[in-house]
């Protein structure tokens, strides 16, 4: 006789083990070998946010329900493998800091492309806005001007002073939310600011390098007691963001402002490089399309890895100034 399975929500994953929430109870389960093999292309066949069916009698996950969306990237160590970060999200919070530590703009753009490709709305958060240098860098990079046409929400917050936290609470209430960003941007501190009762472990930046120190080593979903039906998934810091399954002809679809401009290109299959009659290239020349977004688009088009992208490669169609290299931005 087959043991009936139960439905559970994955709230924590560590290797091939996961913690499930089902009918108000928590269960520690492991993945069946078959599930691990089926997810062999992915380093994470079951992720936080998944709904699964499990057997309580032997604490094994038997199957995973289809996902309505996810955030996924190419694994850094295994370039052919995919790393799914979380699934079934209402919103992704991408935590950004300009200086402490510096977050490359290309990292932001690649995250946005992946989120757009898999149907996850993003709210871009400038954390540490209480630091004057952070505000100045945000303004110098014209973040509002660059990302509003890209249909990205932006919000300035400070986990230290509480600025913007109430607005953030209102935005996430009743939602399942991913909290993501590079190490040191203040994700765990921000989570504690949203609900101090959580007491998530935090750590200061490395004094030697001014970079983030990993405090979160695995993904975990936290219910926020102060906000009904609100769940936040805290994730380890991400160093790079390699994209998967994006074809050349599709890249512009995930840059809303570039896609809108492409309707005016001379050729319907224009890749917006040096083709005649390219409305995207013309918008860049006229200063209507930010160079950072155009560079990010081309870097994805050319399928360059993160290391090359962050060097701000000259593609032969940008003006360069050796006294003011782009990789200082």
The 8-class DSSP code of residue 97 comes to -
Q: What is the per-residue pLDDT for 302?
A: 84
Neighbours of 120 (CB within 10 A): 23
What is the rounded distance in angstroms from the CA atom of residue 51 to the CA atom of residue 264? 43
Domains and CATH numbers, the chain: 6-64 (2.40.50.140), 70-234 (3.40.50.300), 248-314 (1.10.40.50)
What the block records as the tokens of 159 is 């986990």
- Encode pLDDT of 229-263 as tens digits: 999 999 887 766 667 677 888 999 999 999 999 99
Give the pLDDT confidence score for residue 308 in this predicted structure.
47
H helices, E strands: number in the chain: 10, 13
What does the pLDDT read at residue 76?
53
Q: What pLDDT score was predicted for residue 307? A: 47
Structure tokens at 104: 């490359």
CB within 8 Å of 72: residues ≥ 6 apart: 82, 83, 84, 85, 114, 118, 244
Question: Does residue 65 sit in helix, strand or coil?
Answer: coil
Q: In this predicted structure, what is the pLDDT of residue 73?
A: 80
What pLDDT sits at residue 6? 94
Q: What pLDDT is stored for residue 306 in this prediction?
A: 46
The pLDDT of residue 211 is: 43
Structure tokens belonging to residue 246:
């994006």
User: Can you read off the two tokens belonging to residue 160?
Assistant: 């230290």
User: Do 88 and 118 form a contact (C-beta atoms < 8 A)?
Assistant: no
Which residues lie closer than 8 Å to 79 by C-beta, 6 or more apart? 242, 305
**pLDDT at position 239, please?**
65
Low-confidence ranges of the chain (pLDDT < 70): 1-3, 33-43, 75-81, 201-217, 239-242, 244, 304-329
The 8-class DSSP code of residue 99 comes to S
Q: What pLDDT is attached to residue 206? A: 41
- Residues β-bridged to residue 28: 19
The CA distances from residue 64 to 49, 222, 234, 300, in Å, are 11, 21, 21, 31
Sign, Cα dihedral of 289, 293, 299, 303:
negative
Output the DSSP codes for 153-165. Answer: EEEE--TTT-TTH
């Amino acid at each position: 006789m087959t043991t009936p399975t139960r439905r559970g929500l994955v709230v924590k994953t560590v290797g091939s083990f996961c913690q499930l929430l089902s009918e108000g109870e928590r269960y520690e389960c492991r993945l069946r070998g078959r599930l691990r093999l089926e997810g062999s292309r992915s380093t994470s066949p079951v992720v936080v946010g998944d709904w699964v069916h499990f057997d309580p009698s032997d604490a094994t996950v038997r199957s995973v329900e289809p996902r309505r969306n996810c955030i996924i990237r190419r694994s850094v160590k295994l370039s052919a493998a995919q790393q799914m970060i979380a699934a079934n999200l209402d919103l992704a919070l991408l935590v950004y800091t300009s200086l402490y530590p510096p977050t490359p703009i290309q990292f932001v753009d690649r995250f946005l492309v992946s989120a757009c490709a898999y149907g996850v709305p993003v709210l871009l958060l400038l954390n540490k806005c209480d630091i004057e240098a952070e505000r100045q860098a945000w303004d110098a990079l014209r973040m509002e001007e660059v990302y509003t046409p890209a249909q990205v929400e932006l919000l300035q917050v400070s986990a230290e002073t509480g600025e913007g936290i109430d607005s953030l609470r209102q935005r996430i209430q009743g939602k399942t939310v991913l909290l993501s960003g590079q190490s040191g941007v203040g994700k765990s501190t921000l989570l504690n600011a949203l609900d101090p009762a959580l007491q998530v472990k935090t750590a200061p930046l490395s004094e030697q390098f001014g970079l983030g120190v990993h405090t979160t080593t695995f993904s975990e979903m936290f219910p926020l007691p102060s906000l009904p039906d609100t769940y936040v998934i805290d994730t380890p810091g991400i160093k790079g963001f390699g994209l998967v399954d994006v074809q050349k002809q599709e890249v512009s679809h995930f840059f809303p402002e570039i896609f809108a401009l492409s309707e005016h290109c001379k050729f319907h299959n224009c890749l917006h490089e040096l083709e005649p009659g390219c409305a995207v290239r013309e918008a860049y020349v006229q200063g209507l399309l930010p160079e950072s977004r155009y560079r990010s688009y081309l870097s994805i088009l050319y399928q360059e890895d993160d290391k090359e992208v962050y060097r701000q490669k000259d593609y032969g169609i940008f003006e360069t100034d050796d006294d003011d290299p782009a990789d200082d931005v």
